[in-house]
Chains A and B, each alone.
Chain A
Amino acid sequence: MIACWRRNKGTWTALAMLPALGALLLFSGCDFDGYPQDLAYPLRTDDLVVGRADKDVPVQAYDRPGEFPKVLFAYLPEEDRAKLLADPAKLKPEQGQQLDALLKNIFGSPASPKVDGGNADVRELLVKLRSSLRLDEKTLAQGSMLYRQQCLHCHGLTGDGRGATAPWVNPHPRDYREGRFKFTSSGQQEGTRKPRKEDLVRTIREGINGSSMPAFRLLPDDDIDALASYVIHLSLRGETEFLVMQAALKDELDTTIEQGVNEYLANIGGSWETAQHSLIQPDAFPEYKTDAERTQSVQRGWKLFTQQGSAGQGAAAQAGIGCIGCHIDFGRRAAYKYDYWGTIVRPADVTTGVYRGGRRPIDLFWRIHSGINGTGMTAFGGTLQSKDIWDLVNFLQVLPYPQMREKYGIQLEAGN
């Protein structure tokens, strides 16, 4: 026997590999649905962004590929950066453990996500939220599985926007944990403003042109809805964690961690609930009976864009709102700025015809009306009336097209 083995070692070895080959062929390409049951959301360890950068970016450049997320507020001097960031490692260990346990209790795990827990008031609020936003366990489980397949590699396990792909794409994937989403249609006060679920569905379905967020139009409506629910779940968890940690690190938590979680979750949940009923409804789009009327609208929009309101007159809207002050040279030479996530952005180049939040006139209206959350694009819904915003929208639609600019009498100052 041994002699036979010795003589034919090669053969026996080769034959022994056949089961391994078979296993490889059998299991390659298998779908592993969903996350492992024992995986838990880890408590965050990356820096919290606790302040706003009031300076522009010192250089006209984005962070270099691969640098994110190691370097937030890139190119700022170290002492300025330190003021804007807080390190979760400085939390007391028992605080961290308490927070972790509470979050697990309320939000579950990636394989079994839920939104249910906290004190009596919070529970009551979450019941409402679960029904209005479809955050029941079945939908969240479906969303979790899809998220793992489609979104995890960019947006990360906890929705931190720090997945494997994140350092290599710019703009970087959204970090849901600040509870801020850029493209919204809800009319709440900025700071507490949350997106309506339809806004998230729009983003998932249509993608964000000008960034790496693809359009998931080919997913069934049901799947997209489940994904949006899961994103909301991640955002609820992330923002609760963020606010409690921020307060604890600043020593401003004058209650226990548990009370902090309840209080912040109640606030956040309330904001989400209000957002669903706060749709921005513009006045009806004017009917232009003649070409001349339409041209006048575009001209008004041009004036609004390029002219500054005179200080101290109070009739700023009539003179202009000076978009060109930030969108320098219609955005072509805009300065680089820091957003509320510590990454680098710039006012959009509106001559390209590429609109991240959607290109429908109503989308452009919403961007101007409520601004873009988390960036320097401020809300003009308070200063401008609907008809003025529609003038701006008409102007913006004409601007990227040379033939249309000629027709409506618009000039770009340099390099027409």
Chain B
Amino acid sequence: MQKFWGLLFGGTMAGALLLFIVSPFVGWWLPKNVATFGAGIDNLFYVILAITGFFFILTEAILVYNMFRFAAKPGRKASYTHGNHTLEIVWTLVPGVILLVLAIVQIKVWAEVKFQKSMPQPNDPTTQQMEVLARQWEWRVRYPNRERMASWENNENLARDFGQNPHVDDLHITNEIHVWTGVRVLVHLKTQDVIHSFFLPNLRLKQDALPGKTIPVWFAVTESNVEPQIDPKTHERRWFESGYDPATGKTTDASKIWELACAEFCGTRHSMMRGKLYVHKDKADFLEWLKQAEAEQDRHHPQAPVQVAGR
């Protein structure tokens, strides 16, 4: 009877391992990475997975084997072991050293993503800036309009105040992050109420938004996922994700749908606080979208708001 428990544990572990091995082939693995620093983060993940995986299988195999082999049997006396000093030193030192190595190895990646000196500077004319204001339960993004962006190219000091100084003709768009391939983006992350977390899984990027602080976040994307198309229903030009078919309304390629989510519980609709990441092919395409969005926001004659991007 007691051997049954050993078998149960062993079987469960084996099942879990099998599930794990199978998962990349059935789409349960990491989402597609499109960030420039994403590869570094994923490498760390795989290194840690390999180390912990090895030790996990080793220890569990030993455990299950011992449960099975030395299961209680009526008539057999238990044996008392005192402990093994050498073994205890080894299994403390080895993990300790491994952790130290990991801590050192990850510094470079951490610095690349999180240190302010690695971030694109506001007064660099090639930086794209936006302000993301998290609020219950949406992401309100403020973009500079084309005129403001152009003014930064002539006078880099003007770019510095974008974070603190909103202008009346800044674009206010909800739940959509628009960038273009290759550009280094600087996000001024704020929150209007409680703690939220700005999470872009396809960029391996996560940053808590804290009340009272403006936190700089940066990223650069390697490929694009939107293209302008004519909306079959309204016959207007809109930007749709490459993995979405506007005619049928269905997702044709999930690896091209890149999302923004909230990763810090913030109330009733935390799980519905989602957004989309739209990466334009190049700056020209981005500016085309921006032009249409500006026209939309500056509308003086009656028309229902047209959603320029997305569905």
- How many whole Å from B116's CB to the nearest CB in chain A? 27
Interface residues of B in 262-298 (CB under 8 A from A): 268-269, 272-276, 296-298
Interface footprint category on B: 35 or more
- The answer, yes or no, to whether B233 is at the interface (CB within 8 Å) is yes
Contacts of A281 in B (CB 8 A): 301-302
Are the CB atoms of B167 and A150 closer together than 8 Å?
A: no
Interface residues of A in 298-347 (CB under 8 A from B): none
**A358 to B, closest residue via Cβ:** B305
Contacts of B297 in A (CB 8 A): 359-360
Interface residues of A in 203-258 (CB under 8 A from B): 205-207, 209, 212, 214-215, 217-222
Are the CB atoms of A282 and B136 closer together than 8 Å?
A: no
Q: How many residues of A contact B (CB 8 A)?
A: 43
In the complex where A207-B138, A212-B136, A215-B138 touch, is A201 in contact with B304 (Cβ < 8 A)?
A: yes
Are the CB atoms of A284 and B301 closer together than 8 Å?
A: yes
Contacts of B126 in A (CB 8 A): none
Are the CB atoms of B167 and A214 closer together than 8 Å?
A: no
**B274 to A, closest residue via Cβ:** A218
- How many whole Å from A330's CB to the nearest CB in chain B? 15
**B139 to A, closest residue via Cβ:** A215
- How many whole Å from A19's CB to the nearest CB in chain B? 15
Contacts of A185 in B (CB 8 A): 302
In the complex where A202-B305, A220-B311 touch, is A11 in contact with B1 (Cβ < 8 A)?
A: yes
In the complex where A198-B304, A281-B302, A282-B301 touch, is A401 in contact with B175 (Cβ < 8 A)?
A: no
Interface residues of A in 175-208 (CB under 8 A from B): 185, 198, 201-202, 205-207
Interface residues of A in 267-286 (CB under 8 A from B): 279-282, 284-285
Are the CB atoms of A221 and B311 closer together than 8 Å?
A: yes
Are the CB atoms of B140 and A209 closer together than 8 Å?
A: yes
Contacts of B140 in A (CB 8 A): 209
Are the CB atoms of B305 and A205 closer together than 8 Å?
A: yes
- The answer, yes or no, to whether B145 is at the interface (CB within 8 Å) is no
Are the CB atoms of B175 and A217 closer together than 8 Å?
A: yes
Main secondary structure of the interface of B (DSSP, over half): loop
- How many whole Å from B271's CB to the nearest CB in chain A? 11
- The answer, yes or no, to whether B31 is at the interface (CB within 8 Å) is no
Are the CB atoms of A362 and B166 closer together than 8 Å?
A: no
Interface string of A349-385 (1 = CB under 8 A from B): 0000100001111100110000000000000000000
- How many whole Å from A322's CB to the nearest CB in chain B? 24
**A212 to B, closest residue via Cβ:** B136
Interface residues of B in 151-190 (CB under 8 A from A): 165-168, 172, 174-176
Contacts of A153 in B (CB 8 A): 268
Contacts of B273 in A (CB 8 A): 214
Are the CB atoms of A217 and B174 closer together than 8 Å?
A: yes
Contacts between chains A and B (CB distance < 8 A), count: 90
**B167 to A, closest residue via Cβ:** A401
Select A362's contact among B136, B249, B275, B302, beta carbons within 8 Å. B302
- The answer, yes or no, to whether B68 is at the interface (CB within 8 Å) is no
Interface string of A280-298 (1 = CB under 8 A from B): 1110110000000000000
Interface residues of B in 115-140 (CB under 8 A from A): 136-138, 140
- How many whole Å from A60's CB to the nearest CB in chain B? 22
- How many whole Å from B64's CB to the nearest CB in chain A? 18
**B5 to A, closest residue via Cβ:** A11
In the complex where A217-B310, A221-B307, A359-B297 touch, is A353 in contact with B168 (Cβ < 8 A)?
A: yes
- The answer, yes or no, to whether B77 is at the interface (CB within 8 Å) is no
Interface residues of A in 33-54 (CB under 8 A from B): none
Contacts of A217 in B (CB 8 A): 174-176, 307, 310
Contacts of B136 in A (CB 8 A): 212, 214
Contacts of A13 in B (CB 8 A): none
Are the CB atoms of A214 and B299 closer together than 8 Å?
A: no
- How many whole Å from B191's CB to the nearest CB in chain A? 14
In the bound complex, CA of A353 to CA of B91 (Å):
61
**B169 to A, closest residue via Cβ:** A397
- How many whole Å from A201's CB to the nearest CB in chain B? 6
Interface residues of A in 141-197 (CB under 8 A from B): 150, 153, 165, 185
The winner among B298, B302, B311 for most chain A CB atoms within 10 A is B302
The winner among B140, B175, B276 for most chain A CB atoms within 10 A is B175
Select B272's contact among A150, A361, A401, beta carbons within 8 Å. A150
- The answer, yes or no, to whether A400 is at the interface (CB within 8 Å) is yes
Contacts of B299 in A (CB 8 A): 360-362
In the bound complex, CA of A325 to CA of B238 (Å):
44
- The answer, yes or no, to whether B300 is at the interface (CB within 8 Å) is yes
Select A397's contact among B168, B268, B302, beta carbons within 8 Å. B168
Contacts of B298 in A (CB 8 A): 360-361
**A154 to B, closest residue via Cβ:** B268
- How many whole Å from A56's CB to the nearest CB in chain B? 28
Contacts of A361 in B (CB 8 A): 298-300
Contacts of A411 in B (CB 8 A): none
Are the CB atoms of B300 and A285 closer together than 8 Å?
A: yes
Contacts of A212 in B (CB 8 A): 136-137
In the complex where A359-B297, A360-B305 touch, is A218 in contact with B249 (Cβ < 8 A)?
A: no
Are the CB atoms of B305 and A8 closer together than 8 Å?
A: no
- The answer, yes or no, to whether A28 is at the interface (CB within 8 Å) is no
- How many whole Å from A399's CB to the nearest CB in chain B? 9
Are the CB atoms of B165 and A403 closer together than 8 Å?
A: yes
Report which A residues bind B (CB closer than 8 A).
8, 11, 150, 153, 165, 185, 198, 201-202, 205-207, 209, 212, 214-215, 217-222, 279-282, 284-285, 353, 358-362, 365-366, 390, 397-398, 400-401, 403-404
- The 28 sampled A-B contact pairs (Cβ below 8 Å) are A153-B268, A165-B268, A198-B304, A201-B304, A206-B174, A207-B174, A214-B138, A214-B269, A217-B175, A217-B307, A218-B311, A219-B311, A220-B249, A220-B311, A221-B307, A279-B302, A280-B302, A281-B301, A282-B301, A284-B301, A360-B305, A361-B299, A362-B303, A398-B168, A400-B168, A401-B166, A403-B167, A404-B167
Known A214-B272, A353-B168; 20 more pairs at CB < 8 Å: A11-B4, A185-B302, A198-B304, A202-B305, A205-B307, A214-B138, A217-B175, A217-B310, A218-B276, A218-B310, A221-B311, A358-B305, A360-B296, A360-B297, A360-B298, A360-B305, A361-B300, A362-B300, A390-B300, A400-B168
Q: What are the 6 A-B residue pairs with the smallest beta carbon separation, nearest first?
A: A285-B300, A215-B174, A198-B304, A214-B138, A220-B311, A360-B299
